[in-house]
Structure formats: C-alpha cells, structure tokens
Structure 1
Amino acid sequence: MDKITDFINNQYKALQVSASVADAADLFLDEDYSHFPILDHDVFLGSISKEDTELFSGADAINDHKYNLTRFFVRNNMNWFDVLEEFSKNHSNILPVLDDKNNYLGFYELDDVLHFFNETTFVKEDGGTIVIEKETADFTFSQICQIVESNDAKILGVFISNKSATKTEITLKISQSNFNEIIQTFRRYNYTILSEHQEDAYLADLKDRSDYLNKYLNI
C-alpha cells in the first residue's frame, strides 16, 4: 500500500506573496480548490481562499492581504487519519504540507486522501461495521477487543466517531458480518448498539413481542 506522503502534490507550485490576487483567481478558475498555499520565497505564510480572491481587487498584490491568509497546514509525519481530520476541521479540500523544520513540501488534495482511505483495511477488507456507545468513563479499547475476539472475530479497524462529556461512540470494522453473539456480548457489558443489524436476535424478539401485543389489543 502507498504511504500517504506519496500523495504530496507539486503539480502547481505555491504562489509567491508578491503575485497578484488576479494570479490566484486564475488558478482557482483552472482548479476547484478552496485554498492555495502562499510563500514568501521559501517561507510558508498561509493559504489564500477562493472567496478572498473574489472580494479583493485583482490588481492588488497578495502581500497587501497577507494578514487574511489562513495558517492551517499538516506535517509530513502525520498519519492519514489525522490528515483527514484536518481537512474536516478547516473546511478545505487542500492542505499544505510542511516538514519538522517548516519547509514547504507541497500539498495534499482531499480526493487523494480519500482514495488512500479507501485502500485501507478498514474499508477494503470484507467484514461489517458495528457502532456502539458507552459512558465515557467506563469504556476501554482493551475490553472492546476482548469482546470481539472472544466471539472468534477480529477487529479490522476502530475509531471514536463521536464523543461528549458523558458518552463515547465507537465505530468498529469486524471480520465477519454475523454479529448476533457479538452484539449480545456488548449489551451484557452495558454497551448501547447504535447501528441496526438484521441478525440482532434481541431486537427481533422485541419486534415479535410488540407485534403480538398489537394483535392482542386490536382483537
């Protein structure tokens, strides 16, 4: 599998701060980028947004508006999940990449990182997904792994998909799609099952009881 740094893009060179706003606007006409990186010689200053090029005069130098540049970036040693998170946090489809000495290396495009994500085991391997929830103070990843593996399954991927002060939501990719025993074990350990599964015998039994009660009440 490729490394995420293999996707660092240098198809377009970063714009110099001495370039005009019109130069940036022309680039945004050619490519559907939300932002684009700006350098002062070799020093990364930030990124100009497409919206700003529509507000500023095209004749202005980018340097005239350098305090409006946004300073988000990622390091070249960050893993793909952290990079994906930065895309979401900054509402951007492009992320400048710097090394640990703040040298500009290029940029990631969102589509490339999503392609990388699609090649990970979490997405590519056969299996199914369960979404569970528990009190934030009470869950542990070791317990979650123990529950899955005690039912002769393997975890292909796991991440915290939502979190509050009291509750934590965890999404699991598991190496099998028949989840009934795993689901019931999670319930015995006081996890709430947020995802729906046809093979969930507990919910099927509740539905049967509800249907029977409705039939009785309608007699």
Structure 2
Amino acid sequence: MNTFNFVNPLIPILKPEDNIAKATALLDDQVLNQLPVVHEGQFQGFITSDMLFDDLFDHSTVGEYQLNPNQCIVYSNQHFYEVVKAFSDCDFNMLALVDENQEYLGAFDAQDLLNAFSKTTAVQSPGSIIEISIKQIDYSLAEITRLIESDGVKIMGCFLQSDAIDSNLIRLTLKLDRKDASRTVATLERFSYNVVSLFQEASVASYDKERLDALLRYLDI
C-alpha cells in the first residue's frame, strides 16, 4: 500500500513566520492537537496546542518554538506496517510524510490510516475470520496455508501478534474468502491446531440457527 494513500490534503500547514494567533485559530478550526510546520518545502516539525498554550506569552511566531523535524515522520518508500509502528512510537496523533531529502509531502492522522486500510481487499472482501493460537516453535504459515487451501479456501489476509498471557504462544488471525469457515476449522483442529475464535457473516450464522431450530423441532415430534 502506497503511503501517499494516507495523506489528508485537508490538513493545513504553518510557516515559521506565522503568528501564534493564526496557529491557534487553525488548530481550533480543524479540531486538531498539532499541525505541521513547513519552511521552503522542508518539514520543520509539529507544533502542538499544548506548546502554544504553555508559552503563549513567550513567543510571537511559530518559528520561535523548538521543533523536531525527525519526530513522527515516515518516508514515501516505507511499508504500511512500518507506518503503523511509527504511530505507536510517536507522541503525537499525526505523522508527516517526507521524501529522502526531508521535503514535506503531506500529513495524516490515525483515522486517515484506518480509512485507507479499510479499503484493502482483505477488509472489503466477503468471508470469515478465524484466530488460531499456536506455539511459536510450531508456527508455519506455509503448513497452515496448505491445510486451508486443501479445502479450496483462499487466505485474503493475515495478522500475527504475541499472546498477551503466554509469551510462548502467538495468535494468527486469518481472513478467508468463505462465508462459512466451519469446514476449515474442522480441518485445522483435526491437525491439532487450536482455533480460539471464529467470526462469520450474519447470513451464515442465521442459516446455522435455522438448521438448529429445524433439528429441535424435529426432536420434539
């Protein structure tokens, strides 16, 4: 995913010569906590509402503040995962996109990143989601993929994270192209994989409920 997809063109910029009144007004109008400062195309850093409030009577222009041009930035050639990590390491709610020469290309916040991610095939495509708990030493995505695809199912996306309780375990979340993943779950469990969560579309859940209700009615006869 290209990092240019995240940029929000509606985020205004400030210049070093802008006065504090203008900076405060822009922050209020945009309902933002920080804004990028740019001088002759070069990113200078973010100025925040807290900085303006704390030193309201000590400075008259934006350029008088000590800004950090290396804080909360990502580069145009970085991957989506690196952008997500940059957000987790940043003290602000916004990132600046720059090129290798520190030239400012735009800015975006977490909501812009989420909006871009929501348009990916993994999110938009219909299907189901399963979550598997695995020992790190036993983890093999190739093996899991082989088992799933043996049932004619395709993996549309995957996400891996550490287990919050047991450091020896990892959680693998998979988006599948099938609305009903019950057969896939049965296959994985047959090979001793621990499927801890299953999320299916409402239509599948409703269909399963109808079948269960029909069975209960039959047993009542």
Q: For the Cα contact (< 8 Å) 2:44–2:67, is it kept in 1?
A: no
Between the aligned partners of 1:114 and 1:131, the Cα distance in structure 2 is 21
CA change 1:152–1:104 in 2 (3 A) is same
Alignment match, 2:121: 121
RMSD: 2.9
* Residue in 2 that maps onto 1:22: 21
Gaps of 5+ in 2: 205-221
Q: Is 1:186 aligned to residue 188 of structure 2?
A: yes
With 9-18 and 107-116 compared, the bigger mean Cα shift is at 9-18
SS of equivalent to 2:130: strand
Percent identical among aligned pairs is 24
In structure 1, the residue corresponding to 2:178 is in which secondary structure? Answer: coil
Contact map agreement 1:80 1:113 (CA 8 A) in 2: no
Query: 1:204 matched to which residue of 2?
Result: none
CA distance in 1, matches of 2:41, 2:58: 24
Residue 134 of structure 1 and its aligned partner are, at CA, apart by 0.9
CA distance in 2, matches of 1:94, 1:183: 40
Structure 2 matches for 1:140-179, cutoff 5 A?
Answer: 140-163=140-163, 165-179=167-181
1:10–1:26: structure 2 CA closer, same or farther, 3 Å change rule? same
For residue 19 of structure 1, give the secondary structure of its aligned residue in structure 2: coil
User: 2:83 and 2:8 mapped to 1: Cα distance?
Assistant: 14
Aligned length: 198
Once residues 103 and 40 of structure 1 are traced to their aligned partners in structure 2, the CA distance between those partners, rounded to angstroms, is: 10
- Paired residues of 2:157 and 2:174 also in contact (CA < 8 A): yes
What SS class does the counterpart of residue 66 from structure 1 fall into? coil
Q: Report what 1:130 is aligned to.
A: 130
Please report how far the alpha carbon of residue 119 of structure 1 lies from its aligned counterpart in structure 2 after TM superposition: 1.4
Partners of 1:15 and 1:163 lie apart in 2 by 43
Task: Find runs of 4+ consecutive structure 1 residues off by over 6 angstroms.
Answer: none
TM-score between the two structures when normalised by the length of structure 2: 0.74
Which stretch shifts more, 107-116 or 128-137? Answer: 107-116
Q: Which secondary structure does the structure 2 equivalent of 1:37 belong to?
A: strand
How far has the Cα of 1:162 moved from its partner? 3.7
Q: TM-score, normalised by structure 1?
A: 0.75
Deviation by residue 1:18-48 (Cα, 9 ceiling, x = unmatched)? 4344332221101122321123443323212
Counterpart-to-counterpart distance in 1, 2:199 and 2:120: 24
Secondary structure class of the residue paired with 1:16 = coil
- Which amino acid counterpart does residue 193 of structure 2 have in structure 1? Y
Q: CA deviation at 1:113?
A: 2.6
- Letter of the structure 2 residue corresponding to residue 167 of structure 1: L
Structure-2 change in CA distance of 1:68 and 1:57 (3 Å): farther
Q: How does 1:6-155 map to 2 (within 5 A)?
A: 6-57=5-56, 60=59, 61-67=61-67, 71-90=71-90, 92-155=92-155
Q: What residue is the counterpart of 2:213 in the other structure?
A: none
Indicate how the Cα distance of structure 1 residues 137 and 38 shifts in structure 2: closer, same or farther if over 3 A, else same: farther
Taking the aligned partners of 2:189 and 2:83, their CA distance within structure 1 comes to 34
Q: Deviations over 1:157-200 (max 9, x none)?
A: 1111445642211111001132223223333444322214689x
Distance in 2, Cα, partners of 1:111 & 1:80: 14
Gaps of 5+ in 1: 200-219
Alpha-carbon distance change, 18 to 163 in structure 1, aligned in 2, over 3 angstroms: farther
